[in-house]
Amino acid sequence: MRKLSILFCIALAFILTFSSWEVVADTGTATFYTPPYRQADSSACNGYQNDGVMIAAASDAFWDGGSACGRNYKVECSGATNQGDPNPCRGQDYMVVKIVYYCPSGCQGTIDLSQEAFAAIANPDADKTEISFHQL
């Protein structure tokens, strides 16, 4: 019985060791857009539905044919781009946004945040900032 208990403990330790999840963030840039946030075009996820203000538009980098609609992303400011404020990061360490729009080709950032979401992590005077982000 003791050997069985030892084997069980070893097996459990092995499973726990190799089943840990490490979250790897993508990097990119964030810009922001201003109200009104409701739109009803074929690229929007929810038509006229009000999704609040902690929302964003996904660029082609992760839009995935509309599969990004409704996904939540943790976004962190990681530094300045070559324009605007040299120290744009401020406020919260990160915030979570819901993807509710598509930012079409020519989008200036990887993710286009609502003005409120951008202001939660960066100075809006910067217009654009380096970020790390990952899906929750």
The answer to whether residue 92 scores a pLDDT higher than 50 is: yes
37 in any annotated domain: yes
Query: Looking up tokens 């979401």, which residue turns up?
Result: 117
In a domain, 16, yes or no: no
5 lies in a domain?
A: no
Report the C-alpha gap between 127 and 46 in whole angstroms: 26
Query: What SS3 state is found at 15?
Result: helix
d(CA 68, CA 114): 16
Into how many domains does the chain fold? Answer: 1
- The answer to whether position 15 is within a domain reads no
CATH code, domain with 86:
2.40.40.10
Residue 131 lies in a domain: yes
Q: Does a structural domain hold residue 1?
A: no
Q: Is residue 104 part of a domain?
A: yes
pLDDT tens, residue by residue, 19-59: 445 557 789 999 998 887 765 454 468 777 778 899 999 99
Best-predicted range by mean pLDDT among 16-30, 48-62, 103-117, 118-132? Answer: 118-132
